[in-house]
Amino acid sequence: MLISDPAEVSTAGGEVATCPHAVHVRDSKVTDGPDFSVAPEAWSAFLGRAG
């Protein structure tokens, strides 16, 4: 499931996709560039501190 807002992608360039066992993050403007995945618990902790 892609959870980034297309309006945000055009300005920030980030995409986040959730799966049952991982959250995948990449720069939508550099599709052949690096990406990374984290555990859902780690993503939730990050969002809790970022917001």
- Start-to-end CA distance of the chain, whole Å, equals 21
- pLDDT of amino acid 11: 55
Q: What is the pLDDT of residues 14-50, one digit of tens each?
A: 888 999 999 999 988 887 888 899 999 999 998 888 8
| SS (HEC) of the chain | CECCCHHHHHHHCEEEEEECCEEEEEECCCCCCCEEEECHHHHHHHHHHHC
- pLDDT of amino acid 45: 92
- Cα dihedral angle (7, 30, 15, 41), rounded to 10 degrees? -150
- pLDDT of amino acid 40: 94
Show Cβ contacts of residue 11 under 8 Å, excluding neighbours closer than 6 positions: none
- pLDDT of amino acid 9: 44
